[in-house]
A and B are shown apart, each in its own frame.
Chain A
C-alpha cells in the first residue's frame, strides 16, 4: 500500500488529526519554544517599559524600577521552572496571552482609577509588584525546564533563546514604526505557536487565534480611549478629550491629544511638552525675543517638541535647523501641530534627525542663535544636554557674537537646585550672561555667549515688545550670587538626576 492510498483510505477526521500531529511534532521542539519565548520577551519588554514609564511619569529611577521588575520576573520563572506541572503551562500561556495583549489598556485604566480615588501613589507599588508575576516570569520557565530534564542541551537552548532575542529586536526595527497592533500580531503568533507546541488542542488554539484577531482589530480604538481617559484623569484634561496619536518610538511614548475646544497637547513619556499658554510663552521667550535682538542668519534649535519655537525664529528670516533624536516626535509635530509650527508654510527650515551631542561634535556649521528646547533633567540622557561638555561643544558652534538660550526648567532661586546647577554649567562655559525670570511662563531663561551683542536694556525692550510685562533680568554677578556653591553638571556629577528622580517619586508617594 502506498502512502497516497493509505491517506485516501483514512476518514476525514483522522486526516485532520494526522495534520495536527505532524504540526505538533514540528512545533514540539524545545528549541523552537525557547526561540519564540526569546522573541516575545523582547516584544513584551518593549511594550512594558514604554507604557509603564509613561504611566509613572518617567524619570531615571522609574525606568530602573520598571527594568528591575521585569528582570525579577525572569528570576521568578527560574524559581518555579522545575516545580511547575507541565499541564499548568497551557492555561498559563492562554492567560498570559490575554493579560499581555490587554496590558496597555488595563494598566492605564488601573492607574487612572488609583488617581480617581486619590491613590496615584499605589501605582508605584502595585505595577512593579504585578510585573514580575504577570509579564516576564512565564517565558523564563522554558529554558531551565527543558535543560534540567535533558530535553535539549543548554548550549542548544541558550543559543536558541539568544537568537530569538535578536529576532525580537529585528521585529521591533521592522515593525515598531507600524505601531502596537503590528507588534502584537507577531507576539500573538509566537505565543499561539508556543501553546500549540505545548499540546493545546487544535480547536482551542483556533479559538484563541480568532479571539486574538478580534482583539487586535479592536485594539486601536480601545487604546485611544484608554489613553484619553488616563490623560483626563492624571493631567486633568477636559472630558471629551480625544487621542490623535499614541505610539511608542524607539525612545519614548509619544502622545498627541485634543480637547473639546480644539487645543492640542504633546506629551512625551506622559510629561507635557506643549499645549498650555505658559508653554507658548516659553517659545516666545526662547524664539521671538532672541530673534528680534539678533536677526540671525543661521539658527539651531536642539529638540523638536511642538516646533513652535522654530516657527517664531523662522518668521523673522534666516535659516532655522532643528536637531531631534526621535523621528516620531518630528512626525507627530509635523502632522498634528502644523497649525502651531507652520512647518508646511515656512520653507527656511531644516530638520536633522540625530543625537544633539553627536551633531554638535561633528557639524562644521556656525550658528548665530542656538536654543535648547529639551526635556528636564529627569534622566541621565537628557541631563547630558545640560552639562558642561555639551555647552562647550555649543560654544564652538556659536558665531563670534552668537547667543545660546537655555530654559533653566524652574525659576532661578536659591532654593531651586536644578536651575542653579544648570546655571553653574553655563557660568563655567560662557563669559556673558543674562537670566530672565518670566511671570507669564513661571520659568527662568539664560541668554549666554562670549560676546553678547545686546545689553540688558535692549533685552528688556525686546521682552516688552513681545508682551512680557512682569519679569526680572539678572546680570552675571547676580546670577553667580544665586548659584552660590552649586556645582556644574558634568558627566561625573549626575547626582542631580538621582535627586530629581527620587524627589519626583517621593512627591508622588506623598512622602514630602
Chain B
C-alpha cells in the first residue's frame, strides 16, 4: 500500500518538478538573451527552434542511450549556466549565435529523454498533465520572482529544481518499441 502511494506521488511530483525546472529554465534563457544578446525576433526563433530540435533528438535517440537521465539533466543545467556566463562575458555578441544554438539544443535534449523514459512506466496523459502544470508554475514563478528579486531568481530556481530532481526516481533507458 505504501509502495503504491509512493509510486503515485512520484508519478506526479517527478513530472511536476521537471515542469517547474523547464519553465524556469526557458524563462531564464529567454529573459537573459533578451537583456544582453538581442530582443529581436531572431533570438526567439533561435531559442524556440533549437529547443524543439533538442527535444526531438532527446525523445528519438538520446532516450535509448545507456546514460542516466540525471546526466542529461546535468547537461541541460550546464548548458544553461554556460549561456548565462557567455552572455555576461560577451554581451550583445551576436556572432556567437552558433554557440548559443548548440547550448540550447543541449538543454532541449533533457525533456525529450524524460518524456520517452517515463512513458514506459506511467500513463502519458498523466505525465504530460503534471509536467505541464509544473511548467505553468515555473513560467509564472520565474517571471514574477525575477521582477521581485532580480536575476538571482533565474539562477537559483532552476538550480533548486534540478537538485530536487536528482532525489526522485531514476528512470531506465527506453527499450526499442518501434512498431
Contacts A75-B132, A159-B59, A491-B150 hold; do A144 and B92 have CB atoms under 8 A apart?
Answer: no
A383-B36 Cα distance, complex, nearest whole Å: 14
User: What residues on B are CB-neighbors of A362 within 8 Å?
Assistant: 92
Q: Give residues of chain A (41-69) contacting chain B, Cβ–Cβ below 8 Å.
A: 60, 64, 67-68
Q: How far is the CB of B177 from chain A (nearest CB, A)?
A: 5
Q: Choose among A75, A153, A173, A358 the residue that contacts B179 (Cβ–Cβ < 8 A).
A: A153
Contact of A60 with B143 in the complex, beta carbons under 8 Å = yes
User: What residues on B are CB-neighbors of A75 within 8 Å?
Assistant: 129, 132-133, 136
A490-B151 Cα distance, complex, nearest whole Å: 10
Contact of A492 with B132 in the complex, beta carbons under 8 Å = no
Contact of B55 with A162 in the complex, beta carbons under 8 Å = yes
Contact of A494 with B147 in the complex, beta carbons under 8 Å = yes
A154 to chain B: closest residue by CB: B119
Number of A-B contacts (CB under 8 A): 141
Contacts A74-B132, A75-B136 hold; do A498 and B144 have CB atoms under 8 A apart?
Answer: yes
B148 at interface, CB cutoff 8 A:
yes
Contacts A143-B124, A491-B150 hold; do A250 and B41 have CB atoms under 8 A apart?
Answer: yes
Contacts A71-B136, A75-B133, A155-B174 hold; do A147 and B124 have CB atoms under 8 A apart?
Answer: yes
B107 at interface, CB cutoff 8 A:
no
Contact of B40 with A144 in the complex, beta carbons under 8 Å = no
User: What residues on A are CB-neighbors of B72 within 8 Å?
Assistant: none
A493 at interface, CB cutoff 8 A:
yes
Contact of B128 with A71 in the complex, beta carbons under 8 Å = no
B94 at interface, CB cutoff 8 A:
yes
Q: How far is the CB of A492 from chain B (nearest CB, A)?
A: 3
Contacts A81-B125, A154-B119, A166-B53 hold; do A494 and B39 have CB atoms under 8 A apart?
Answer: no
User: What residues on B are CB-neighbors of A391 within 8 Å?
Assistant: none
Q: How far is the CB of A365 from chain B (nearest CB, A)?
A: 15
Q: Choose among A145, A158, A495 the residue that contacts B116 (Cβ–Cβ < 8 A).
A: A158
Instruction: Produce 1/0 per residue, A170-209, CB < 8 A to B.
Output: 0001000000000000000000000000000000000000
Contact of A68 with B40 in the complex, beta carbons under 8 Å = no
A163 at interface, CB cutoff 8 A:
yes
Contacts A155-B116, A357-B39 hold; do A380 and B147 have CB atoms under 8 A apart?
Answer: yes
User: What residues on A are CB-neighbors of B100 within 8 Å?
Assistant: none
A64-B136 Cα distance, complex, nearest whole Å: 10
Q: Choose among A154, A162, A495 the residue that contacts B148 (Cβ–Cβ < 8 A).
A: A495
A297 at interface, CB cutoff 8 A:
no
User: What residues on B are CB-neighbors of A130 within 8 Å?
Assistant: none
Q: How far is the CB of B121 from chain A (nearest CB, A)?
A: 11
Contact of B147 with A60 in the complex, beta carbons under 8 Å = yes
Contact of B132 with A78 in the complex, beta carbons under 8 Å = yes
B: contact size bracket: 35 or more
Contact of B148 with A498 in the complex, beta carbons under 8 Å = yes
User: What residues on B are CB-neighbors of A166 within 8 Å?
Assistant: 48-49, 52-53, 56
Instruction: Produce 1/0 per residue, A486-500, CB < 8 A to B.
Output: 000011111101100
Contact of B92 with A361 in the complex, beta carbons under 8 Å = yes
A79 at interface, CB cutoff 8 A:
yes
B45 at interface, CB cutoff 8 A:
yes
Contact of A64 with B151 in the complex, beta carbons under 8 Å = no
- Contact residues of A: prevailing secondary structure: helix
A494-B17 Cα distance, complex, nearest whole Å: 26
A82 at interface, CB cutoff 8 A:
yes
User: What residues on A are CB-neighbors of B140 within 8 Å?
Assistant: 64, 68
B10 at interface, CB cutoff 8 A:
no
Contact of A325 with B174 in the complex, beta carbons under 8 Å = no
A140-B127 Cα distance, complex, nearest whole Å: 13
Q: Choose among A155, A173, A358, A495 the residue that contacts B60 (Cβ–Cβ < 8 A).
A: A155
Q: How far is the CB of B25 from chain A (nearest CB, A)?
A: 15
Contact of A357 with B92 in the complex, beta carbons under 8 Å = yes
Task: Point out which of B53, B125, B143, B179 has the most chain A C-beta atoms below 10 A from its C-beta.
Answer: B125
A341 at interface, CB cutoff 8 A:
no
Q: Choose among B34, B59, B123 the residue that contacts A148 (Cβ–Cβ < 8 A).
A: B123
Contact of B40 with A358 in the complex, beta carbons under 8 Å = yes
Q: How far is the CB of B22 from chain A (nearest CB, A)?
A: 12
A466 at interface, CB cutoff 8 A:
no
Contacts A74-B132, A162-B52, A497-B147 hold; do A251 and B41 have CB atoms under 8 A apart?
Answer: yes
B150 to chain A: closest residue by CB: A492
Q: Choose among B53, B91, B112 the residue that contacts A158 (Cβ–Cβ < 8 A).
A: B112
B135 at interface, CB cutoff 8 A:
yes
B50 to chain A: closest residue by CB: A166
Q: Choose among A68, A158, A358 the residue that contacts B136 (Cβ–Cβ < 8 A).
A: A68
Q: Give residues of chain A (480-512) contacting chain B, Cβ–Cβ below 8 Å.
A: 490-495, 497-498
User: What residues on B are CB-neighbors of A78 within 8 Å?
Assistant: 125-126, 128-129, 132
B31 at interface, CB cutoff 8 A:
yes
User: What residues on A are CB-neighbors of B116 within 8 Å?
Assistant: 154-155, 158
B35 at interface, CB cutoff 8 A:
yes
A169 to chain B: closest residue by CB: B48
User: What residues on B are CB-neighbors of A494 within 8 Å?
Assistant: 146-147, 150
A354-B41 Cα distance, complex, nearest whole Å: 10
B139 at interface, CB cutoff 8 A:
yes
Contact of B56 with A148 in the complex, beta carbons under 8 Å = no
A358-B56 Cα distance, complex, nearest whole Å: 31
Contact of B128 with A143 in the complex, beta carbons under 8 Å = yes
User: What residues on A are CB-neighbors of B14 within 8 Å?
Assistant: none
User: What residues on A are CB-neighbors of B119 within 8 Å?
Assistant: 147, 153-155
User: What residues on B are CB-neighbors of A81 within 8 Å?
Assistant: 125
Q: How far is the CB of B30 from chain A (nearest CB, A)?
A: 10
Could you list 9 further interchain pairs (A-B, Cβ under 8 angstroms) beyond the known A159-B112, A498-B147?
Answer: A64-B143, A68-B136, A74-B128, A78-B128, A163-B56, A354-B38, A355-B39, A358-B37, A492-B150
What are some 24 contacts across the A-B interface (CB < 8 A)?
A64-B139, A71-B132, A75-B132, A144-B124, A144-B128, A148-B124, A148-B125, A153-B177, A153-B179, A162-B59, A162-B112, A165-B48, A169-B48, A169-B49, A250-B44, A251-B41, A354-B38, A358-B94, A361-B91, A380-B31, A381-B34, A491-B151, A495-B148, A498-B147
The 5 closest A-B pairs by CB, nearest first: A492-B150, A144-B125, A154-B119, A78-B129, A250-B41
